[in-house]
């Protein structure tokens, strides 16, 4: 089902993603971050759905369906770099901090920050061209909410 999507992500110079594909790639990245500490729980799932509803104006049912589709894609996808490249191509720089904030919302959804999650977020922020300082400020904004 996702073979064509993954093939497009792994091209040397992937074309920019359509909005629906960009949504799927971002949501799959949220799932990947949530799973990085090997404790993917209901709170993180709810947070991913909440982000999808807020970011894309989805109904609860549509957000749950997007999360389920993203879980399946994330399980089949080869690596984080390709997800990140797809998002970087699809999301203007000025909006990438919103991506980082969304990722921090998922990391902080269970009330703990695992080393694996921190490491993955540092990698993703770097690959998106977001400086560590800006990522830290995004984390602080999310934690204050």
Residue 116 confidence (pLDDT) above 70: yes
Q: DSSP letters along 43-90, please? A: HHHHHHHHHHHHHH---HHHHHHHHHHHHHHHHH---HHHHHHHHHHH
pLDDT of residue 82: 73
For the chain, how many residues are written? 145
Per cent of the chain over pLDDT 70 is 88
Q: Where are the domains of the chain?
A: 17-144
**What pLDDT is stored for residue 124 in this prediction?**
92
Mean pLDDT of the chain: 86
Distance (Å) of CA 81 to CA 60, 62, 63, 143: 29, 27, 24, 26
The answer, as to whether pTM is greater than 0.85, is: no
Please state which CATH class domain 17-144 belongs to: mainly alpha
């Amino acid at each position: 089902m996702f073979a064509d999507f993954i093939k497009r992500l792994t091209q040397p110079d992937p074309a920019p993603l359509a909005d629906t594909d960009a949504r799927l790639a971002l949501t799959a990245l949220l799932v990947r971050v949530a799973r990085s500490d090997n404790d993917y729980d209901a709170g993180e799932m709810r947070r991913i759905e909440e982000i999808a509803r807020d970011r894309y104006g989805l109904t609860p049912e549509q957000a749950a369906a997007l999360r389920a589709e993203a879980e399946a894609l994330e399980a089949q996808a080869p690596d984080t770099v390709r997800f990140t490249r797809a998002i970087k191509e699809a999301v203007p720089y000025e909006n990438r901090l919103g991506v980082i904030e969304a990722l921090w919302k998922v990391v902080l959804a269970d009330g703990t920050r695992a080393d694996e999650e921190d490491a993955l977020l540092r990698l993703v922020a770097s690959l998106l061209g977001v400086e560590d300082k800006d990522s830290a400020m995004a984390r602080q904004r999310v934690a204050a909410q």
